[in-house]
């Protein structure tokens, strides 16, 4: 999910950039040198996964998976998604340069929230079926939150974008469903195959 070039006002672009830089900075501080390859690899996977489209009616929807990236990356989701979004802009002309900060924030912040909720729940919920359920909800929630952040970014410009924003959020309902189930199944897969990769202590150095 991203905002195109040309839509947002200067103050919104600037605040987005400042907040994103802060998030990226914090993420980089939390990313030890040993974690760099892992973060890069996940960033690349999410870049590739965003190319997956699921048929929906006469059209199709693209996966976003910012909730799943958040769950696996923690704070490093900021630099990881910033790099992926920058590459998307370079390669596909999606999003762009001046909106990079806002777009990073829109994608990464819900990811961070999903990360905290998931690891809070992961300590309590143990059965795979329930972990799946939590992941489905978080995957869908991250898309919804991104939609709301996007709406907020548009509304903050003070211009008459509410109609546009409502349309965008409505268009993302199928994405929420798709992202939710895909996130759930992916987490279930990792849980069965390499559960240690879901545990953040292995991921982040004591900070």
Binding to another protein, residues 49-68 (CB under 8 A): 49, 51-52, 54-57, 63, 65, 68
| Residue 44 engages another protein in binding (rule: CB under 8 A) | yes
Please identify, using beta-carbon distances, which residue of 41 and 152 lies nearer to another protein.
41
Contact 61, 3 (CB under 8 A): no
| Residue 34 engages another protein in binding (rule: CB under 8 A) | yes
Closest to 104 (Cα-Cα) out of 19, 36, 5:
19
Size of the site for another protein (CB under 8 A): 74
Q: Dmax over Cα atoms in the chain, in whole Å?
A: 49
Smallest gap from residue 148 Cβ to another protein (A): 19
* Helices within 125-160 (DSSP H only): 128-156
- Residue located via tokens 């970014």: 153
> What is the footprint of another protein within residues 110-139 (CB under 8 A)?
none
Taking the C-alpha atoms of residue 92 and residue 90, their distance in angstroms, rounded to an integer, is 6
Which window, 85-93, 101-109, 110-118, 142-150, contacts another protein (CB under 8 A)?
85-93
């Amino acid at each position: 999910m991203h905002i195109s070039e040309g839509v947002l006002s200067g103050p919104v672009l600037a605040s987005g950039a400042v907040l994103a830089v802060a998030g990226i900075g914090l993420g980089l501080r939390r990313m030890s040198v040993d974690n760099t390859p892992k973060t890069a690899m996940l960033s690349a996977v999410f870049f590739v996964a965003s190319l997956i489209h699921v048929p929906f009616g006469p059209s199709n929807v693209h996966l976003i998976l910012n909730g799943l990236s958040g769950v696996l990356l923690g704070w490093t989701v900021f630099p990881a998604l910033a790099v992926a979004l920058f590459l998307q802009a370079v390669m596909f002309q999606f999003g762009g340069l001046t909106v990079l900060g806002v777009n990073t924030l829109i994608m990464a912040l819900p990811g961070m929230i999903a990360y905290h909720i998931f690891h809070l729940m992961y300590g309590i919920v143990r059965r795979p079926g329930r972990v799946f359920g939590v992941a489905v909800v978080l995957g869908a929630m991250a898309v919804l939150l991104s939609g709301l952040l996007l709406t907020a970014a548009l509304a903050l410009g003070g211009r008459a974008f509410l109609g546009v924003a409502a349309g965008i959020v409505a268009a993302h309902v199928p994405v929420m469903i798709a992202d939710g189930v895909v996130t759930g199944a992916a987490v279930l897969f990792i849980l069965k195959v390499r559960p240690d990769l879901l545990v953040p202590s292995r991921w982040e150095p004591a900070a």
